[in-house]
Every structure is written in C-alpha cells, then in structure tokens.
C-alpha cells in the first residue's frame, strides 16, 4: 500500500486570519503551509502524520503532493524523512491550483506500480485516538479483494460548503463527483470529504 498526502493547498483563510490578527501573536506563521504548522512540541502536523504512517507495516511509500510556492519549505522538512517522495503540483497561487482530484492523479502518475492507495489530507488534525491501522483494516474488511474506494466524509453546514471538498453520491453510495469548494447553490450535497 502507498500513501498520498495532499499538501498542495494555500491555506488562504488561515493566512488572511494571520494577516488580520492585530496582536501579531501568530505573525511567525505567515506563509507557513498548514501541513508544516507546529502542532505538538513544535512538531509540524506532517511529522505527526509520518509517525502514524510509520506504525503501519504494509505501507511501502509515501507521496506528498505539494505546490511550487512552498516547495522549498517542504524540501527542508523532507530532509528528515528520506522515505517520502515529494510530487510538485506546478501552481504558485490559490487561483491557479489544480485541486485535490488532479493532485491525486499527479501522485498516481508518479508511482512505479499501482497498488492500494490511502489518500490523506495533510492539513487534517486527527484525534488523539486515531489509528490508521484500524482505518486500513476497515477498508480491507469492506473491500475484500474488490477494487473499491472508501471515502470518509461528514455532513457540513451550508456555510461550510464553499470551504470544503464536497462529495456527491447516488442512492447506493456510489460517487458521482467531487466538487472543489463549490457554492452552496451548485449542489444539494453537504458531504464534506475528510
């Protein structure tokens, strides 16, 4: 199994919040990509993800999709993580980014062989009791040996639709499409992809 970590976002809302913060308390975080924000004992969120990933024996390679703007910061971080492969999505701003689905395809295209893949959002802060091993076991139990995808989502509010990737499914739960931060009027779905 390979892991793809999506880390090519720009954290536009967070960056705006930092800029608008009058205290200056968080100014050191300006232009730091969300996956590299210090979380626990000043460890970046991405390092915490790597700790969880390294506990799973069946994971072969980890592909992290990053953008061109923050490439240098990710390469500096990656020096301490030789078992990862950085895949650069060629955007330099939020306006010309590819979106999650195209970033997944970029990572898949860079793999030597296709195998089971686990896609993680690099800016997701997981719960203390989260177990990637348990999530993988759940997937294996559900899928058997069939080629399927297991996608986690939660129901979000109307106000959050334009801030999230939204999943549209049919009555049987089959994915119809992924929408990248759509306006609430574009879809009736409120299934925000985790």
Residues 155 and 133 in one domain: no
Give per-residue pLDDT as tens, 94-152: 899 988 889 999 999 999 988 889 899 899 888 778 888 888 888 888 877 777 777 77
User: What CATH code is carried by the domain that includes residue 93?
Assistant: 3.90.550.10
Residue-range definition of the domain harbouring residue 171: 151-194
- The answer to whether residue 174 scores a pLDDT higher than 90 is no
Please list, in sequence order, all residues whose beta carbon lies within 8 angstroms of the beta carbon of residue 118, skipping any fewer than 6 positions away: 1, 2, 3, 4, 59, 132, 135, 136, 139
Count of Cβ atoms closer than 10 Å to residue 27 Cβ: 10
What is the H or E stretch that residue 84 is in? strand 84-89
Question: Where a domain ends, among 111, 126, 147?
Answer: 147
Residues 167 and 143 in one domain: no
- The pTM score is 0.82
Q: Give how many domains the chain has, as a whole number.
A: 2
Residues 157 and 142 in one domain: no
CB 68 within 8 A of CB 57: no
Q: How far apart are the C-alpha atoms of 132 and 52, rounded to whole Å?
A: 7
Please give the pLDDT value at position 152: 78
Give per-residue pLDDT as tens, 20-43: 999 999 999 999 999 999 998 999
Residues 54 and 95 in one domain: yes
Question: Where a domain ends, among 147, 168, 184?
Answer: 147
CB 63 within 8 A of CB 5: yes
- The answer to whether residue 76 scores a pLDDT higher than 90 is yes
């Amino acid at each position: 199994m390979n892991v793809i970590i999506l880390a090519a976002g720009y954290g536009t809302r967070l960056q705006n919040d930092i800029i608008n913060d009058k205290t200056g308390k968080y100014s050191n975080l300006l232009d730091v990509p969300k996956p590299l924000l210090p979380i626990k004992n000043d460890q970046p969120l991405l390092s915490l993800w790597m700790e969880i990933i390294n506990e799973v024996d069946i994971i072969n390679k980890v592909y992290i999709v990053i953008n061109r703007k923050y490439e240098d910061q990710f390469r500096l971080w990656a020096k301490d993580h030789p078992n990862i492969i950085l895949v650069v999505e060629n955007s330099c701003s939020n306006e010309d980014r590819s979106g999650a689905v195209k970033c997944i395809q970029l990572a898949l295209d860079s793999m030597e062989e296709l195998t089971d893949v686990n896609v993680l959002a690099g800016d997701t802060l997981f719960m203390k009791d989260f177990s990637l091993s348990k999530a993988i076991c759940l997937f294996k139990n559900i899928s058997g040996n069939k080629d399927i995808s297991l996608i986690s989502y939660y129901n979000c509010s109307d106000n959050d639709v334009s801030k999230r990737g939204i999943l549209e499914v049919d009555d049987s739960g089959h994915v119809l499409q992924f929408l990248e931060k759509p306006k609430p009027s574009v879809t009736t779905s409120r299934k925000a992809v985790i």
